[in-house]
Amino acid sequence: MANQISLLHRVERSERALYARCVDHASARKWWRVAWTVLTHLGGTACSVAAATLPLVLLSGGSFYDAARRALATLVISHLAVQLVKRTVNRPRPSLREATASLVPEPDKFSFPSGHSCAAMAVCFAYAMAFPALALPLIALAMLVGASRVFLGVHYPGDVLVGQIIAIATALVL
């Protein structure tokens, strides 16, 4: 048991060190902040829900319609899982523990796992499964949304990784 606790402390220390290297707001240029902020919003509620529901409203069938249905189901189920884990783990956001401030508003006080990262990956991965030719750019976009959450000071890297894993696992189960 002591070895497991020691391992967890080492992992957390390493993660916090990686976070500190990623978050250097003092030297960040304005365009850098704007680009990451735009990217981070792609994982927000409005964009992720729109990406999953607009095809359902605009189309009456076909492969894109079916993919959108899977994307919406993946988004909803994975988001429920994220919220359950967030409220169980209660990990505080980096802005509450580190000497850095986030550059975007934080939706709640819980850091683990990242809801934005999960939402972006849920929608992108569901569409990537339906349209393999688009898989690389879609997954890359979801990964960039996750990176934006760290660079903007809202999440630790592990928060992002676990959020994305929840999304992928949900999509694969569905």
pLDDT tens, residue by residue, 116-155: 999 999 999 999 999 999 999 999 999 999 999 998 889 9
* CB contact at 8 A, 75 and 122: yes
Please say if the pLDDT value at position 35 is more than 90: no
For range 81-105, the mean pLDDT: 84
pLDDT of res. 16: 76
Q: Which amino acid appears at position 17 of this protein? A: A
For residue 92, the SS3 value is strand
Q: Map tokens 């095809």 to a residue.
A: 55
Q: Identify the band that residue 71 occupies on the pLDDT scale cut at 50, 70 and 90.
A: very high
pLDDT of res. 5: 63
Please say if the pLDDT value at position 26 is more than 70: no
Please say if the pLDDT value at position 85 is more than 70: yes
The CATH number assigned to the domain with range 30-173 reads 1.20.144.10
pTM for the whole structure: 0.87
Every domain of the chain and the residues it spans: 30-173
CA R_g for the chain: 17
Maximum average pLDDT range among 46-60, 128-142, 150-164: 128-142
* CB contact at 8 A, 19 and 150: yes
Please say if the pLDDT value at position 28 is more than 70: no
* CB contact at 8 A, 79 and 85: no
Please say if the pLDDT value at position 11 is more than 90: no
Please say if the pLDDT value at position 24 is more than 70: no
Maximum average pLDDT range among 24-38, 103-117, 134-148: 134-148
